[in-house]
Amino acid sequence: MQKEISTKKIFSKLLEKFETISGENTFNCYQCGCCSAACPVASEMDLLPSQVMRYIQIGLTDEVLNGNTMWICATCYACQARCPRGIDIATVMETLRQIKLRKNEDWTVLGKIDVDELNKLPPIALISNLRKMTG
C-alpha cells in the first residue's frame, strides 16, 4: 500500500509532544540499527526499535502507536547502552507508551483486571500504567 507522507504530518504536534517528553531529537537517529541488533526481544516486535525511530522520522506515527513494539520492550537498556548517537531508546519506548496511555481512552483499575488477562498483559504495560502522568 502506498503511504502518503508530508512534512505537515512529520513535523506535527505529536512529534513536538514526543520530543518534549522523551527529550530526544528524532532526526538525530541515523538508522544504524545498533539498537535493533542489541534488543533481546526484537523477534517478537512488529517494528524493530530502529524502525520505530524511522517511522517517526517520516511521520508514520499511527503505525508506531498501533504497533506492539513499545509493549514488548522490556526496558532492559541494551539499545540505549549502545546507541552511537546517544539516543535514549528505552526512554523513547516509554514516551510512546505514555502518549498512548494519556489519550484518556479508558483507565485501569488494577484490582479489577482478572487473573487471566493479567497473565497475558506485558508487564511493561502495567508499569507504564502506574507511571502514567507521573513523568
Partner 1 sequence: MTENKNDKKIGVFVCHCGINIASTVDVDKLVEEFSKYSDVSHTENYKYMCSDPGQKLISAAIKKHKLNGLVIACCSPTLHENTFRRLSENSGLNAYLCEIANIREQCSWVHEDKTEGTKKAIKIVKTIVEKVRKNESLTPVEVPVTKKALVIGAGIAGMQAALDIADAGKKVILVEKSPSIGGHMAQLSETFPTLDCSQCILTPKMVDVAQNPNITLYTYSEIEDLEGCVGNFKVKIRKKARYIDEELCTGCGICVNKCPSKKALDEFNVELTTRPAIYVPFPQAVPNIPVIDKENCLFFQKDACRICEKVCGPKAIRFDQEDEFIEEEVGAIVVATGYDLLPITEMREYGYGKYKDVINGLQFERLLSASGPTEGEVRRPSDSKIPKDVVFIQCSGSRNPEYYKSYCSKICCMYASKHAMLYKHRVPDGHSYIFYIDIRSGGKGYEEFVQRAQEEENVVYLRGRPAKVYQEGDKMVVWGVDTLSGQQITIKADLVVLAQAIIPRNGVEELIKKLKIQTDEHGFLSEAHPKLRPVETNTSGIFLAGCAQAPRDIPETVAQASGSAAKALTLLSIDKIHHLPIVATVDEDLCSGCEICIGTCPYSAREIDEEKKIAIVNEVLCEGCGSCVSACPSSASQQKNFTDGQFEEMIKAILE
Q: Which residues contact ligand SF4 by CB under 6 A? A: 29-35, 49-50, 53, 83-85, 87, 89
User: Among ligand SF4, partner 1, none, what binds residue 39 when CB lies within 5 to 8 Å by partner kind?
Assistant: partner 1
Q: How far apart are the first and last CA of the chain?
A: 37
Interface ranges with partner 1 (CB under 8 A)? 30-39, 42-43, 47-48, 50-51, 78, 82-86
Read off the C-alpha cell for 57: 522520522
Nearer to partner 1, 6 or 31 (CB): 31
Q: How far is it, in rounded angstroms, from Cα 19 to Cα 91?
A: 11
The least distance separating ligand SF4 from the CB of residue 31, rounded to whole angstroms, comes to 5
Q: How far is it, in rounded angstroms, from Cα 89 to Cα 78?
A: 9
